[in-house]
């Protein structure tokens, strides 16, 4: 350590790598110990370490939507419990108005003590299949209040003195539809925190608490400096953009998302005050998710290799009044807020491209088709809720085509494997394929959207399905002369094969042999299609990527 209290570069890099490795190892423990496919297979979770004040120091890069969000939960815990936090405590929280994102994202985090004093925190967040509430899977676009979205947990002790708190475990068990999986996943999160505590203890034992504490501080300072240097290298300027949600989640008019960016020197103002007031449905975004989306923007435009920690926030000023869709008053419902976050990410990137055209990229799909289908497990006979997330195409950019069939922007969730769906649930996946012709054409094409057909088997199932960009006006945009991607389409067939008219956000009972068909939007193109490399254009044609028109001719029989 130097006279100024900072670490020499080699010591810092070794320590920082150890901390980052700890967060990644925590993720491996959680993934391999969990019960639910959305964690085990789809990797909808994050793991992180925080300093004693609850500032995020390192986070393993799993889900961008959770960038920096957990620090608000840790800070909320400190506000509520303060000096009452003790060794052996492990906390749980999911309240969207106490630093959480939505109720299905359960945060489990443990304080780390050194020499009797609070030294750091190890934390995890993971999407749980169900936390109770009105609907199977707890989500529901038409929810009017957060109270419909399952258990609301302010920071509470899940463990005391390293032992399970039976009162809280019993409460959770009595309020969820699949307690076997839910409690198993919570224990997996606890195991990840125990691993995090062990690794930090090892680092402290080797280097001493003062050195490790200096590494925490220096990690924040380094990311702040890197973000400022990257921003300072960009030309100053001001830009704005708007995008729209298809509706307000309950059949109302389109909902506006607006962003204005002002970049001066190494400072970035992000003004979201032009966005719509909070809506009656569940598209509202709690503050933790809005802040995470802005952090995503900074990494995207400044340096995608930036380490994730709260230092990214220091060059930022975010203007987002309470009462808007991006910062609602409680008890507004928020369970499907991720669709709005995706639209916000797209809008922020378009505002950035108006300042820095060299960074322009065609729009990616923001549809984030989410579904929860409740039935009976063919393996266990217990209630089972299948959750899947269907992505689409990313936008083309100046260097290459967009990616096909991925979870875009803030999401990084894998598609539910067919084998898992058909083993764990009374579901048959009839088709899972890319959609030729769904991409926007350009000098660089957008990526292709995805089609998936789910057939329910055995008994009636309750399904909650929601998507965006079914309104052609709001499909993914091209840039620099590129074409737009195709819109999303949701089609539900009854057991007789006839189409059942449904809106794009629906909760309904499906009879056996019914089919839910999802067709997601492709990404927008970049540049004039006439300028596409002739060899690439020929390959598009030969590979059948330009489509045959089925998508626009009405739903085919399943």
Q: Phi and psi of 213, rounded to 5°?
A: -65, -40
- In angstroms, what CA-CA distances link 95 with 321, 395, 549? 20, 34, 46
Instruction: Report which secondary-structure segment, H or E, holds 239.
Output: strand 237-245
Instruction: Report which secondary-structure segment, H or E, holds 505.
Output: strand 505-510
Domain boundary among 180, 200, 225: 225
Q: Phi and psi of 31, rounded to 5°?
A: -60, -45
- In angstroms, what CA-CA distances link 507 with 23, 375, 463? 37, 14, 6
Please give the pLDDT value at position 4: 58
Domain boundary among 204, 225, 246: 225
**Residue 404 domain-assigned?**
yes
The CA-based dihedral angle spanning residues 403, 406, 411, 417, taken in that order and rounded to the nearest 10 degrees: -160
Give the pTM: 0.95
Q: Are 187 and 38 in contact (CB under 8 A)?
A: no
Please give the pLDDT value at position 89: 98
Domain boundary among 178, 204, 225: 225
Residues of the chain falling short of pLDDT 50 = 549-558
Distance in angstroms (rounded) separating the CA atoms of residues 522 and 546: 12
Distance in angstroms (rounded) separating the CA atoms of residues 432 and 129: 22
The token duo for 210 is 């003062």
For the stretch 457-460, contacts whose Cβ atoms lie closer than 8 Å and that sit 24 or more positions apart, written own/partner, are 457/375, 457/426, 457/427, 457/428, 457/512, 457/513, 458/375, 458/376, 458/378, 458/426, 458/512, 459/375, 459/376, 459/426, 459/512, 460/509, 460/510, 460/511, 460/512
Instruction: Report which secondary-structure segment, H or E, holds 260.
Output: strand 255-264
**Residue 332 domain-assigned?**
no
**Residue 19 domain-assigned?**
yes
249: alpha, beta or left? (left if phi > 0; alpha if psi -120 to 50): left
**Residue 54 domain-assigned?**
yes
Please give the pLDDT value at position 558: 36
**Residue 234 domain-assigned?**
no
Please give the pLDDT value at position 1: 60
Which H, E and C letters describe 412-448, residue by residue?
A: CCCCCCHHHHHHHCCEEEEEEEEECCCCCCCCECCCC
Looking at the 3D structure of the chain, how many domains does it have? 2
Can you tell me which residue has the tokens 């649930």? 425
**Residue 266 domain-assigned?**
no
Q: pLDDT digits over 303-353, tens only?
A: 888 888 999 999 999 999 999 999 999 999 999 999 999 999 999 999 999
The token duo for 462 is 């309750």
Structural domain boundaries enclosing 42: 9-225
**Residue 368 domain-assigned?**
yes
Can you tell me which residue has the tokens 């203890």? 201
**Residue 273 domain-assigned?**
no
């Amino acid at each position: 350590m130097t006279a100024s209290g900072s670490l020499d570069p080699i010591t810092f890099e070794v320590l920082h790598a150890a901390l980052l490795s700890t967060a990644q190892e925590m993720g491996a423990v959680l993934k391999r110990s969990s019960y639910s496919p959305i964690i085990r297979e789809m990797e909808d979770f994050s793991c992180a370490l925080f300093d004693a004040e609850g500032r995020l120091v390192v986070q393993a890069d799993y889900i961008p939507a959770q960038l920096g969000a957990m620090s608000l939960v840790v800070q909320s815990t400190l506000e509520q419990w303060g000096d009452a936090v003790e060794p052996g405590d492990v906390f749980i929280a999911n309240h969207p108005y106490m630093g959480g994102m939505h109720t299905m994202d359960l945060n489990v985090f443990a304080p780390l003590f050194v020499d009797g004093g609070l030294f750091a925190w190890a934390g995890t967040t993971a999407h749980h299949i169900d936390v109770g509430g009105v609907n199977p899977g707890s989500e529901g676009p038409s929810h009017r209040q957060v109270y419909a979205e399952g258990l609301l947990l302010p920071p509470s002790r899940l463990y005391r003195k390293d032992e399970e708190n039976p009162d809280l475990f019993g409460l959770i068990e009595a309020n969820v539809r699949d307690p076997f999986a839910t409690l198993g996943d919570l224990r997996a999160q606890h195991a990840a925190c125990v691993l995090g505590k062990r690794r930090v203890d090892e680092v402290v034992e080797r280097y001493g608490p003062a050195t490790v504490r200096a590494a925490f501080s220096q990690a924040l300072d380094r990311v702040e400096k890197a973000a400022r240097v990257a921003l300072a290298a960009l030309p100053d300027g001001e830009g704005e953009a708007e995008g729209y949600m298809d509706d307000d989640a309950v059949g109302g008019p389109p909902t506006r998302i607006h962003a204005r960016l002002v970049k001066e020197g190494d400072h970035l103002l992000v003004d979201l005050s032009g966005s719509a007031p909070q809506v009656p449905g569940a598209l509202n975004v709690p503050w933790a998710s809005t802040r995470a989306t802005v952090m995503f923007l900074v990494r995207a435009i400044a340096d995608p290799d930036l380490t994730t920690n709260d230092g990214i926030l220091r060059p930022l000023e975010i203007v987002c009044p309470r009462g808007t869709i991006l910062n609602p008053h409680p008890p507004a419902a928020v369970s499907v807020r991720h669709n709005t976050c995706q639209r916000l990410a797209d809008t922020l990137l378009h505002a950035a491209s108006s300042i820095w055209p060299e960074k322009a990229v065609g729009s990616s799909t923001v549809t984030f088709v989410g579904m929860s289908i409740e039935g009976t497990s063919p393996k266990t006979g217990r209630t089972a809720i299948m959750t899947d997330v269907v992505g689409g195409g990313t936008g083309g950019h100046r260097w290459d085509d967009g990616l096909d069939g991925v979870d875009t922007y803030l999401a990084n969730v894998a598609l539910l494997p067919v084998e898992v769906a058909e083993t764990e649930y009374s579901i048959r996946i009839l088709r899972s394929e890319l959609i030729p012709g769904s991409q926007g054409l350009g000098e660089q094409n957008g990526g292709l959207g995805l089609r998936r057909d789910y057939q329910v088997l055995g008994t009636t199932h309750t399904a909650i399905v929601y998507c965006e960009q079914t309104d052609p006006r709001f499909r993914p945009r091209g840039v620099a002369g590129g074409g737009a991607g195709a819109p999303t389409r949701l089609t539900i067939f009854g057991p007789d094969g006839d189409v059942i008219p449904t809106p794009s956000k629906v909760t309904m009972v499906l009879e056996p042999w019914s089919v839910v068909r999802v067709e997601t939007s492709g990404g927008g193109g970049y540049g004039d299609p006439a300028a596409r490399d002739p060899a690439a254009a020929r390959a598009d044609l030969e590979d059948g990527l330009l489509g045959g028109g089925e998508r626009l001719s009405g739903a085919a029989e399943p």
